[in-house]
Amino acid sequence: MKKAISIPIIILFFFNCLIAQDFIYKKDGNRIAAKNVEELVGHISYQKYNEQGDQIYKINNNEVSFIAYENGLVKFVEKESRIIQRHDFNQNIINYHLFDLVVNNFKISYERILKNGKIGIQIPIAFGYGNTDQISGFDDVYNQFYTGVALNFYPTGQGKIRYFMGPGIQIGTGFFEDSYNYSGANADHKTDVYIFRFLVNNGIAFTPIKALSISLVGSLGIRYTDKTENTGDQKIKTVGAFSTNLSYRF
């Protein structure tokens, strides 16, 4: 067990009010109204506050953040610095997608983290540029412009290292490029298309300092276009993407 402290201001910060009961605060953000809380080796035993009878419940220490006793005592089970990181964080993130430069995309995105720290709403904006020697992503279509929205779920909340995953959609424009032989000479032909992508994103972010993050994101999903290449490619196909991001948090 970690050290115990009695600081009323911390209690007021974490919960709306205290009445004559104990609270067990879990790492997932939920809390348990309890009584007869007993700290044992590897776990905590308790009874539910509003439950009659002598039923004893147990919870592993690795699930618990801290315990707030009715007398004002706060007992930290995990490191206090980790608790602060989970609750005290900036909610706005600007991402610069470095890896997209390799595939002729300039892409930035804005993400808003909700107050619970477990959900982020992200809006990307991307522009295709330069020549068309490379495909814009793991796809057979060149991007010209796209935007969209993604939901990022953070199971463990915010902190120095955090995993996130969730669905995202992209809507934009692009083109296929085909080469044809006209009278013995090769010529390029572009087919403009509208693009819709649905992706499931998985990523991990590392924050070495409070305002700066580095993240790796892999995505897999489907892509739809309103037209096909003259080679007979399908309108709907499986696609993937990878991104390395540099982020500023404020």
pLDDT digits (tens, 9 = 90+) for 33-57: 999 999 998 999 999 998 888 899 9
Q: Tens digits of per-residue pLDDT, 101-111?
A: 887 889 999 99
Question: 6-15: per-residue pLDDT in tens?
Answer: 444 454 445 4
Could you tell me the pTM of the whole model? Answer: 0.67
CB 212 within 8 A of CB 187: no
Cα–Cα distances in Å, from 198 out to 101, 224, 244? Answer: 21, 9, 19
Judge whether 179 and 188 are in contact, CB under 8 Å.
Answer: yes
Hey, is 95 helix, strand or coil? Answer: strand
What pLDDT band is residue 188 in, cutting at 50, 70 and 90?
A: low
b/e burial code for range 37-65 (CB count within 10 A of at least 16 → b): beeeeeebebbbbeeeeeeeeebeeeebb
pLDDT in tens, 159-174: 888 999 999 999 999 8
Where are the domains positioned within the chain?
Answer: 4-87, 92-249
CATH of region 92-249, choose from 3.40.50.1370, 3.40.50.2020, 2.40.160.20, 3.40.190.10: 2.40.160.20
pLDDT, residue 231, reads: 55
* pLDDT of 218 strictly over 70: yes
Query: Which 3 state secondary structure label does DSSP give 63?
Result: helix
Q: What is the pLDDT of residues 52-100, one digit of tens each?
A: 888 999 999 989 988 999 888 888 888 776 776 666 688 999 999 998 8
Cβ(143)–Cβ(137) under 8 Å? yes
Q: 200: exposed, middle or buried (C-beta count within 10 Å: 0-12, 13-18, 19+)?
A: middle
Rounded CA-CA distance 203/36 in Å is: 41
Amino acid letter, residue 128: G
Average pLDDT, the chain: 82
Q: How many angstroms separate the Cα of 71 from the Cα of each of 26, 31, 40?
A: 20, 17, 20
